């Protein structure tokens, strides 16, 4: 069940806040009093999320709290089923989950977010790259850091943006771009 959890990192839209009630010192402490979600559904979501995010408790708590606040259990289960059928993330999930990815990026990356600001591209571009990469790779932080470093070495921020847009339009992936991705995959994934 819960295909949602395994693709929760594949989102790119922002949401204003996702800090669960209880404050930042208690990540994942969701206000579930108004929720109609069963405890076993919450537990299964949390366990699946923890296993797919490398144990990112704050992120998983945030995602669970945001989803519970946004959807009834029946709505969540229907969207989860839709994700299995279409192999894509419904827009309804995107805003909730992306806010949590942005809020918990350092936890998902396993490093100090301040280090992300040190590079050829601007901080915002680096964060956006890491967000997108973590989401599409299922949270493979080392792979994403490797790819970011390689792209920054070869492409200016505007060159990378142009290439990414061209790829999204269906144009061929440049050899150098592909080489960076393949090298990082070989080094960090398999």
| Residue 126 shares a structural domain with residue 156 | yes
Query: How high is the pLDDT of residue 35?
Result: 77
Whether residues 21 and 50 share a domain: the answer is: yes
Residue-range definition of the domain harbouring residue 38: 3-107
Average pLDDT, whole number, for the chain?
75
Among the listed residues 125, 72, 59, 126, the one whose alpha carbon sits nearest the alpha carbon of residue 98: 59
Indicate if 16 and 84 belong to the same structural domain.
yes
User: Would you say residue 155 has pLDDT above 60?
Assistant: yes
Long-range contacts from 23-28, C-beta under 8 angstroms, 24+ separation: 27/57, 27/58, 27/61, 27/62, 27/104, 28/57, 28/58, 28/60, 28/61, 28/62, 28/64, 28/65
- Please say if the pLDDT value at position 79 is more than 80: yes
Predicted pLDDT at 139? 80
pLDDT at 64: 92
Distance CA(35)–CA(190), nearest Å, equals 41
Lowest mean pLDDT across 72-81, 111-120, 137-146: 111-120
Q: What is the mean pLDDT of residues 40-47?
A: 92
Q: Are residues 93 and 29 part of one domain?
A: yes
**Do both 27 and 43 map to the same domain?**
yes
Of 75, 107, 139, which closes a domain?
107
pLDDT band at 71 (very low <50, low <70, confident <90, very high): very high
pLDDT of 53 higher than 70: yes
Q: Are residues 11 and 97 in the same domain?
A: yes
| Boundary residue ending a domain (107, 137, 153) | 107
Based on the fold, state whether residues 151 and 85 are members of the same structural domain.
no
Question: Residue 11: its pLDDT value, please?
Answer: 31
- Going 174 to 175 to 180 to 183, the CA torsion angle's sign is positive
Higher confidence at residue 184 or residue 125?
184
101 and 12 in a single domain? The answer is yes
CA 47 – CA 175 distance, rounded (Å): 39
116 and 94 in a common domain: no
Domains held by the chain: number: 2
pLDDT at 32: 40
Region 26-41 average pLDDT = 63
Residues 160 and 71 occupy one common structural domain: no
- Indicate if 10 and 99 belong to the same structural domain: yes
Domain co-membership, 8 together with 95? yes
Task: Please tell me which residue, 2 or 106, carries the higher pLDDT value.
Answer: 106
């Amino acid at each position: 069940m819960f295909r949602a959890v395994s693709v929760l990192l594949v989102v790119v839209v922002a949401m204003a806040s996702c800090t669960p009630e209880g404050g930042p010192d208690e990540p994942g402490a969701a206000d579930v009093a108004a929720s109609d979600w069963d405890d076993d559904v919450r537990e299964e979501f949390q366990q699946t999320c923890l296993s797919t995010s490398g144990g990112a408790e704050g992120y998983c708590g945030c995602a669970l709290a945001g989803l519970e606040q946004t959807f009834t259990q029946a709505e969540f289960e229907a969207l989860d089923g839709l994700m299995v059928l279409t192999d894509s993330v419904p827009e309804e999930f995107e805003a909730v989950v992306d806010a949590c990815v942005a809020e918990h990026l350092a936890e998902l990356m396993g490093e100090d977010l301040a280090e992300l600001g040190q590079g050829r591209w601007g901080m915002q571009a680096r964060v956006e790259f890491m967000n997108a990469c973590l989401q599409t790779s299922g949270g493979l932080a080392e792979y994403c850091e490797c790819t970011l470093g390689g792209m920054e070495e070869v492409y200016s921020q505007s060159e990378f943006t142009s290439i990414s847009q061209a790829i999204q339009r269906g144009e061929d992936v440049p050899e150098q771009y592909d080489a960076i991705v393949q090298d990082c995959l070989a080094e960090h994934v398999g």
